[in-house]
Amino acid sequence: MTLVHTAHDRAVTTLTLDSPGNRNALSAALVGGLADALTRCGKDSDVRAVVLTHTGNTFSAGADLREPPHPDAFVGLLRQIVELPKPVVARVTGHVRAGGLGLLGACDIAVASGDATFAFTEVRIGVAPAVISLPLLPRTDPRALARYYLTGERFDATEAVRAGLLTAAGDDVDVTLEPVLDGLRRSSPQGLAETKSLLTAKVLEAFDRDAAELTALSARLFSSAQAREGMTAFLERRDPVWVV
């Protein structure tokens, strides 16, 4: 089954996450398929920019608890998006949770429809938003992250723009995206690559400095007793034992 579909139009390649049955959860297969598609985009001189979007009502629900990717593979995917010498633009028309927010953080530009919702739900299952912090912490308002990391609250697209998680939001995401894609198509490949390199330098410093530690933290937490209870409760659609 193909979990990532590719389309190309006037120098822009669109990669569509297509696993609606599990709300585009980040399974090992989906992470691998997206990494392969990005590698092809990086090598293709006809690709000026990449749009990352989705089928269904969820951009990504975060890690697939039944078939999770290895933390190293997910870190590698996030770094691949950041390092790709072509801008990556997220197009969101649904909900984004947990690890899916790491994908948004890794993208250079992120645009969503006004009815999109967001939540860092890791704390509610006994883990932490560890590896997704690599692209998020350098780019996002720290006070906003403190609140939403610690509470797991859901927030809307307007708040996501204010916090720096999104570039823009609007009733019609494609209308909002139109000037962005027009600008990218008018820009030279060399100019885009070098400008992106300037913009991502601090993010890559975070990867170089913290990736190993945060990957180890993620692995430790996911193997803990509290995480097993949290994930079991999630799959059984009940509250975990610590809810009061």
CATH of domain 4-172: 3.90.226.10
pTM for the whole thing? 0.96
Q: How confident is the model at residue 66 (pLDDT cuts 50, 70, 90)?
A: confident
- Mean pLDDT on 28-54: 97
Q: Is the dihedral of CA 186, 192, 196, 198 positive or negative?
A: negative
Residues 191-217 have a mean pLDDT of 98
pLDDT > 90? residue 69: no
* Confidence class for position 22, pLDDT limits 50, 70, 90: very high
What pLDDT score does 37 carry?
98
3-state helix, strand, coil in the chain (%, to 5): 50, 20, 30
Rounded distance, CA 137 to CA 57, Å? 26
| pLDDT value, residue 71 | 82
* Interval 80-129: pLDDT, tens: 999 999 999 999 999 999 999 999 999 999 999 999 999 999 999 999 99
Domains of the chain, by residue range, sit at: 4-172
Q: Are 204 and 83 in contact (CB under 8 A)?
A: yes
- Identify how many contiguous H helices and E strands the chain contains and give both numbers: 9, 10
The mean of the pLDDT values for the chain is: 97
The DSSP-derived string for 153-196 is -EEEHHHHHHHTS-SEEESSHHHHHHHHHHHHHTS-HHHHHHHH
